[in-house]
Amino acid sequence: MTATCERIGGRRVLFVMAVEAEYGPHLRARFSPLLTGVGPVEAALVTGMALQDLARRGDLPDLVVSLGSAGSRACPLGEIYQISSVSWRDMDASRLGFTKGVTPLTDHPVDLPLVTPLPLPLARLSTGANVVGGEEYGAIDADMVDMETFAVARACSRFDVPLMGLRGVSDGPGELDHIDSWTALLGLLDERLAAAVDLLPDALGSIASAA
């Protein structure tokens, strides 16, 4: 799928999502996203290739927006949050003396800060390759969990493009034991994420005017 930037508030914006299931009618009326597939490997691969292609065309975005669903036991179901930082819960080379969450021989903090231009509540996000449920939340140092944002952030950092994250809480309380447990609230999140996207023109227009 060819990546296409939207023009919002005087800025080129690339929207990135994981799968069609999260891309409902309200979001479809607003933008065409880059769909990466599920998990950090797919997200890094597809986002990196898309940014490389945009760079060759001289059309790198001024901002990437990663959005979709997330799990949480700290944030209420159905609510939308702007991501203040994202970490990678899978990476653990601590036996070699590296800080847990930091990729060996690279230069990134445990928590990668994201840009937060919107007047929305903030949350810290943890990315990993596993679907989190039950007591597993207790071992994760973050407010929310997903499977793509950290990978998108690393791809963006290679091209020096800022990243914003928007996530709606689809699951968390109780046990996540079937795909229906994830999809039940996606229609509501589609509507509420679209309302958050509607805040971008004013926020980015103010940034562009101040630049």
Cα R_g (the chain), whole angstroms:
16
Report how far residue 105's alpha carbon sits from residue 91's, in angstroms, rounded to the nearest whole number: 13
Residues 66, 175 contacting (CB under 8 angstroms): no
User: Which band of pLDDT confidence, cut at 50, 70 and 90, is reported for residue 158?
Assistant: very high
Nearest to 193 by CA among 67, 6, 13, 72: 67
Q: Is 17 left (phi over 0), alpha (psi -120 to 50) or beta?
A: beta
- The pLDDT of residue 175: 65
Strands (E), 24-162: 34-35, 63-71, 80-88, 112-113, 122-127, 144-146
Percent of the chain with pLDDT over 70: 93
The pLDDT of residue 46 is above 90: yes
For residue 108, the tally of other CB atoms under 10 A from its CB is: 16
- Write down the residue that tokens 């630049």 correspond to: 211
Cβ count near 78 (within 10 Å): 13
Residue 165 clears pLDDT 60, i.e. is over it: yes
* Residue 184: predicted pLDDT: 84
CA distance 83 to 67: 10
Q: Lowest mean pLDDT: which of 35-39, 161-165, 207-211?
A: 207-211
Q: Per residue in 93-150, pLDDT tens?
A: 888 888 887 888 787 888 999 999 999 999 999 999 988 877 888 888 899 999 999 9
Asked if residue 118 lies in contact with residue 139, where contact means CB atoms within 8 angstroms, the answer is: no
Q: Which tens digits make up the pLDDT trace of 14-36? A: 999 999 999 999 999 999 999 99
pTM: 0.90
Model confidence pLDDT, tens digit, residues 77-107? 999 999 999 999 988 888 888 888 788 878 7
